[in-house]
Amino acid sequence: MNDIVVQKYGGSSLADSDKIKRVAQKIRNRVSEGYKLVVIVSAMGETTNRLIELAKEVSSKPHPRELDMLLTTGEQVSAALLSMSLNDLKVETKSLNAFQAGIFTSSNFSEARIQKFKVEKILKLLEDHDVLVITGFQGITKEGDLTTLGRGGSDISAVALSAAVGTHCEIYSDFPGIFTFDPRLHRNAKKLKYVTYDEILEMASLGARVLHSRAVEIAKKYDVKIYCASTFSEEEGTYVVADNIEQPVVTGMSVMENQTQVTIANLPLNYSLVYKIFDEMAQKAFNVDMISIISINNKLNISFTIIEEEMENFDRYLKEALSSFDEISVNYEHGYVKLSVVGIGMRNEKGVASRFFKSLRDIPIKMVTTSEIKISCLIEKEYMKKATDALIKEFDL
Amino acid sequence: MNDIVVQKYGGSSLADSDKIKRVAQKIRNRVSEGYKLVVIVSAMGETTNRLIELAKEVSSKPHPRELDMLLTTGEQVSAALLSMSLNDLKVETKSLNAFQAGIFTSSNFSEARIQKFKVEKILKLLEDHDVLVITGFQGITKEGDLTTLGRGGSDISAVALSAAVGTHCEIYSDFPGIFTFDPRLHRNAKKLKYVTYDEILEMASLGARVLHSRAVEIAKKYDVKIYCASTFSEEEGTYVVADNIEQPVVTGMSVMENQTQVTIANLPLNYSLVYKIFDEMAQKAFNVDMISIISINNKLNISFTIIEEEMENFDRYLKEALSSFDEISVNYEHGYVKLSVVGIGMRNEKGVASRFFKSLRDIPIKMVTTSEIKISCLIEKEYMKKATDALIKEFDL
């Protein structure tokens, strides 16, 4: 049989009938090069959001099972339409929903995990079809309930299916690839030819608009090569791989605005209390980042960042959690920017931190955290332009 | 277990979130009276038409399998939304699509026939649910392809499921029941309390806006009682039953405008040719009605009606079919109205035809056909008002 390729098309690439026809054309061209394709589709344009709106209109708290039952229709619509359009181009094709493709998942609605595909059925169907169009983002439990995989779910479907079939995965969207930093920030952002799984996992914002990080985790685990490119352009995209053969020291930079620094001073030297605080916040789904803890005079001083708009809720929960300790002071400082650079090359290259600090030597840094392949710092917003310019220059981003 | 009732809600009763919530409330009230409900839903409002439009945009001739794959999403959306809304009202419920309810059909896409339901599963689920919301209009083949049942398909789903479960069926729509004639025609139309299967089958237009005639066929075959009423009113509706205990001689009247009378003169006295003509026209899906055939001087003269807008196509096919007979003349006359009265009581009552002709004595009648429970005539449009007034008066409609 011909080589099999898995492709995934995002919702904006299928937003209207004209785009669907252009995607069909693109797929037909690939078939005529001698490939068999499994195509994973998202819901058209804003469909999923529109369905969620409808759900909120009929129910104050939509039942998770029923919400998944509702949302899965979005991908079925695009799969059927794309398959029709392919049929018109004389491509032998068939659309498959989660029941038909046998996409089995765990039963936690709205964030189910894929367990297996009916791979034999898919391979069998590929013997007499050029293309199978499969609904992304969804699965079924063994009891036959429909589930969805959460945000970025279609990426996960595509990568998991690639792993199951043993082939690589092409992710098409409106974006021509993965950049050294967010092009909205600075027009000089460079498109990366290669980026590693670890780099994307350390810095989700690099791939945020192109590829969901859970999909990258699966790709890393099963060694699935991913190619991200623009649907409607021939421009070369970005390969997401295990090792970056180009190995630049720093691959990319990310900037997150609206950070609030939280400082909790005078906590008793009791790490189970620290655990309790962070566990509570995690359960409440706050994004706590850049945690650093220092003990001074037998007291713990904790500092970390949250997103500015979460502050009010956060403060309420924190006050509850700390209500029995009246010496403790909590302080919030707003308007900060988190700036990070990431690069798999840091693992081997010394001196990245010193180059980082050298470039930012004129800027007051509020906080620093590091990982094996990432350095992050917190600065005031007024220095953002100056800092990013310096880092872009220093690391040739 | 409590008594089971099957209900069906049409698309206009589920057209927006507000209506869905009102339907949920209505269902909840019924549950609180001690019933278990199986609710069959249509797609919301104009959803199906919108999906068909989309299909036409992406494909010049949408593949029937894929079209069904597309259209079945409409009912899944309304089933999920209604179920959510019921959950909010503390009703134990679950939505089921064709896979989940095991609605098996033949594999002729777009007009599949229901073969069976997974009745055991449905009954089992009803043990710990008050309400099951099931997608109408659709099914699956034994290979797992999605199918649709054609126009009025949700009525068919509801009646077939009632037959399978052994209960009666309630059909809710915007219309408060079945009338003696189309209320748009004349405001004096009376709502029928009872109407028989045969009457509706003889005169589909009586129930046209409320109940699909294929559903009535199934109801007749399995003796399923149907109750048709308005979704959002408490007004009593119409019971569709095997025998009308009230037995009025004439139950209803129908008026079909835009009729063209076709007359084929001088055909050779050869009934296999007649068969050939009508068979051809049936295959081309022309609506041929009021057929009458008379032989004069060893020649056949055939007359029948078609719908005016079909004339052009019809003429082309007819000319082809008759191309080897050059003596034959074909004549079309436009602008006629077909007027019928139907009544199960005609079977026993003599003199209905004479009362019919007496009321229309001042009107030139172009053609007459009769069945056991129906009399139809063709008249010119200008006499329509006069004729309907006379029939309404004569038969107290």
Neighbours of B124 (CB within 10 A): 11
- Residue A318 neighbours by CB under 8 Å, 6+ apart: A262, A264, A277, A281, A330
Name which of B177, B174, B140 is nearest B157 in CA terms: B140
Name which of A42, A48, A214 is nearest A135 in CA terms: A42
**pLDDT for res A182:** 80
Strands (E) in B233-328, as ranges, are 238-241, 252-268, 289-296, 299-307
Amino acid identity, position B253:
M
The CA distance from A173 to A384, in Å, is 29
pLDDT in tens, B226-265: 999 999 998 999 999 998 766 677 888 888 888 999 988 8
Residues 265-294 of A with CB under 8 A from B: none
Residue A246, pLDDT > 80, answer no
**pLDDT for res B355:** 85
Chain A environment of B24 (Cβ under 8 Å): 58
Residue A202, pLDDT > 90, answer no
Question: How long, in residues, is chain A?
Answer: 397
A70 touches chain B (CB under 8 A): yes
Q: Is A23 left (phi over 0), alpha (psi -120 to 50) or beta?
A: alpha
ipTM: 0.80
**Are residues A84 and B17, on separate chains, in Cβ contact within 8 Å?**
no
Q: Which residue is associated with the tokens 């630049």?
A: A248
The CA distance from A10 to A16, in Å, is 12
Chain B environment of A67 (Cβ under 8 Å): 80, 84
Beta bridge partners of B340: B254, B376
CA distance A53 to chain B (A): 10
CA distance B26 to chain A (A): 14
A84 touches chain B (CB under 8 A): yes
Chain A environment of B62 (Cβ under 8 Å): 84, 87
Domain A252-395 has CATH 3.40.720.10: no
CB B342 within 8 A of CB B251: yes
Q: How far is CA A154 from CA A200, A231, A236, B228, in A?
A: 18, 15, 22, 43
User: Which run of H or of E encompasses A67?
Assistant: helix A64-88
**Are residues B24 and A97, on separate chains, in Cβ contact within 8 Å?**
no
Beta bridge partners of B85: none
**Are residues B84 and A99, on separate chains, in Cβ contact within 8 Å?**
no
pLDDT in tens, A81-99: 999 999 999 999 999 999 9
CB A81 within 8 A of CB A87: no
Beta bridge partners of A378: A338, A367
Torsion of CA A208, A212, A216, A218, to 10 degrees: 170
CB B344 within 8 A of CB B199: yes
Helix (H, G, I), strand (E, B) or coil at A92: coil
What rounded mean pLDDT belongs to chain A? 89
What would the mean pLDDT of B149-159 be, rounded to a whole number?
Answer: 92
What would the mean pLDDT of B31-38 be, rounded to a whole number?
Answer: 95
Q: DSSP secondary structure string, A127-138?
A: HS-SEEEEE-SE
B60 touches chain A (CB under 8 A): yes
DSSP B97: -
Strand order in the sheet with A146-148: A114-116, A104-105, A138-140, A146-148
The segment with the largest mean pLDDT, out of A320-329, A352-361, B113-122, B309-318, is B113-122
Name which of B86, B309, B347, B173 is nearest A62 in CA terms: B86
Q: How far is CA B180 from CA B187, B189, B338, B348, B393, in A?
A: 11, 6, 16, 20, 12
**pLDDT for res A134:** 98
Q: How far is CA A210 from CA A10, A112, B183, B326, in A?
A: 9, 21, 57, 71
- Residue A297 neighbours by CB under 8 Å, 6+ apart: none
A135 touches chain B (CB under 8 A): no
Chain B environment of A59 (Cβ under 8 Å): 84-85, 87-88
Q: What confidence category does residue B223 fall into, taking pLDDT thresholds of 50, 70 and 90?
A: very high
Chain B environment of A69 (Cβ under 8 Å): 76, 79-80, 83, 95, 97
Name which of B70, B84, B148 to mutate to probe chain A: the one with the most chain A Cβ atoms within 10 A of its Cβ: B84
CA distance A29 to chain B (A): 17
**Are residues A61 and B95, on separate chains, in Cβ contact within 8 Å?**
no
What would the mean pLDDT of A260-283 be, rounded to a whole number?
Answer: 83
Q: What confidence category does residue A285 fall into, taking pLDDT thresholds of 50, 70 and 90?
A: confident
Neighbours of B62 (CB within 10 A): 25
Chain A environment of B73 (Cβ under 8 Å): 73, 76-77, 80
B22 touches chain A (CB under 8 A): no
Which is it for strands B114-116 and A104-105: parallel, antiparallel or unpaired? Answer: unpaired
Percent of chain B with pLDDT over 90: 52
Neighbours of B358 (CB within 10 A): 11
CA distance B212 to chain A (A): 26
Chain A environment of B21 (Cβ under 8 Å): 58
CATH code assigned to A4-241:
3.40.1160.10
The CA distance from A27 to A384, in Å, is 43
Kindly state the tokens that stand for A285.
């789904």
Domains of chain A, residue spans:
4-241, 252-395
CB B106 within 8 A of CB B112: yes
Handedness of CA A246, A247, A248, A251 (dihedral sign): positive
Percent of chain A with pLDDT over 70: 98
Residue A346, pLDDT > 90, answer no
What rounded mean pLDDT belongs to chain B? 89
Q: Is A30 left (phi over 0), alpha (psi -120 to 50) or beta?
A: alpha
The CA distance from B23 to B11, in Å, is 12
Q: Which residue is associated with the tokens 């019921």?
A: B86
Kindly state the tokens that stand for A39.
């195509």
CB B200 within 8 A of CB B133: no
Q: What confidence category does residue B297 fall into, taking pLDDT thresholds of 50, 70 and 90?
A: confident
What would the mean pLDDT of A194-210 be, rounded to a whole number?
Answer: 80
A243 touches chain B (CB under 8 A): no
Residue A49, pLDDT > 90, answer yes
Chain B environment of A55 (Cβ under 8 Å): 80-81, 84
What would the mean pLDDT of A144-156 be, rounded to a whole number?
Answer: 93
Give the A:B interface size as CB pairs under 8 Å.
116
Name which of A335, A181, A178, A172 is nearest A258 in CA terms: A335
B129 touches chain A (CB under 8 A): no
